[in-house]
Amino acid sequence: MKALVLERQRVLTLREIEIDETLGPSDVRIAMGVVGICGSDVHYYTDGGIGPFVVREPMVLGHEGAGIVVEVGGQVEGLGVGDRVCMEPGIPDMDSRASRLGLYNLDPAVTFWATPPVHGCLRESVVHPAAFTYRLPENVSLAWGAMVEPLAVGLHAATKARIRPGDVAVVVGAGTIGTVTALSALAGGCGRVIICDVVQERLDLAAGLGAITPVNAGKENLAEVTMEMTAGWGADIVFEASGNAAAAAAVVEPLRPGGCIVLVGMPNEKVPFDVVALAAKEARIETVFRYANVYDRAVELLTSGRIDVGKLITDTFSFEKSVEAFEYAAAPPATSLKVQIDFGS
């Protein structure tokens, strides 16, 4: 089949590749429809690896996928040929201790699309366990379906925060993950979200999505604005979604006493936290690694219209133009947020 293959750092080709796609009894075969380009895909392309995950042999990129079921295994119930679906890209060993605890995202044996050496979904078709394949209703497009993966990260973060109705949240970073985290926080009951970034175009986009107040860190002080907006008390929750070490170290300042910090971003250097400042506020610190048990909720929120991801999809390329799509995503204009690849199905 045809696939977008990362041959090695900086070398991408759209070519034929042989992948074993035997359909098991609990699997479905899916013709890919839309795949979003994630920051991690771009990192593998530009840097050849992320931390310990290094691309050593040609690997198909992509993990934010939606498509159409074309074949179902003999034991599959609830999915049929022609169903439009999105797929959870991480497959754990369901018998593992982590899976039995409901923490299947933390199973050391998890295989995750486009994490070396596992091939991703930027190819004509994939075989996937039905248990990790989710049907999309009529009113949710394949493009929206491909947004479920990043949205799941935001929903997992919002779940970890244990939001109470009317909470004020700060989200640091207005990239795709920061923006879906802000939307998830509002859907989870936050009364208002203050979102912070240095790119004005991203802030403008986020500000148009609901009760979201933009703060440009290049011109304003996030902690000062947050204190002003909360009568000097601070935000109930601070989500760190920038992945910037200096920004991550600064999450304590805008937090209220007894508040919660959720670390979503993955800085590529160590973050020097002020333990005394954290202790003085008895801050609760939560972390997330991808997500677990939130795909159904993400689809539900898109179906009901409670979350609208339409404005987040700023650019769409055809599958034939996949290499160009990656060149674009590696050096995007400030107005670009989510770049998707459409297979035209």
User: With respect to Zn ion, which residue has the nearer C-beta, 38 or 174?
Assistant: 38
User: With respect to Zn ion, which residue has the nearer C-beta, 38 or 250?
Assistant: 38
Alpha helix (H) residue ranges in the chain:
39-47, 97-100, 142-145, 148-161, 176-187, 200-207, 222-229, 245-249, 275-280, 295-304, 322-330
86 is a site residue for Zn ion (CB under 5 A): no
**Whose structure tokens read 């993400």?**
298
- Scanning residues 234 to 263, which ones bind Zn ion (CB under 5 A)? none
Compute how many other C-beta atoms are within 10 angstroms of the C-beta atom of residue 25: 10
User: With respect to Zn ion, which residue has the nearer C-beta, 178 or 234?
Assistant: 178
Give the interface segment with Zn ion, choosing from 63-71, 126-134, 258-266, 295-303 (CB under 5 A): 63-71
Give the interface segment with Zn ion, choosing from 36-44, 126-134, 189-197, 329-337 (CB under 5 A): 36-44
**Shortest reach from residue 328's CB to Zn ion, in Å:** 17
Give the interface segment with Zn ion, choosing from 32-40, 162-170, 250-258, 291-299 (CB under 5 A): 32-40
Q: Count the residues of the shown chain that bind Zn ion, applying the rule CB under 5 A.
A: 2
Task: Report the C-alpha gap between 231 and 280 in whole angstroms.
Answer: 19
**Whose structure tokens read 């179906």?**
303
User: With respect to Zn ion, which residue has the nearer C-beta, 64 or 240?
Assistant: 64
**Shortest reach from residue 139's CB to Zn ion, in Å:** 23
**Shortest reach from residue 331's CB to Zn ion, in Å:** 19
Give the interface segment with Zn ion, choosing from 56-64, 77-85, 178-186, 292-300 (CB under 5 A): 56-64
The binder of Zn ion chosen from 12, 35, 38, 337 (CB under 5 A): 38
User: With respect to Zn ion, which residue has the nearer C-beta, 173 or 234?
Assistant: 173
Give the interface segment with Zn ion, choosing from 30-38, 154-162, 164-172, 330-338 (CB under 5 A): 30-38
The dihedral region occupied by 267, where left means phi > 0, alpha psi between -120 and 50, and beta the remainder, is beta
Q: What is the CA radius of gyration of the chain?
A: 20
Burial of 273 (0-12, 13-18, 19+ CB in 10 A): middle
Interface with Zn ion by CB under 5 A: which residues? 38, 64
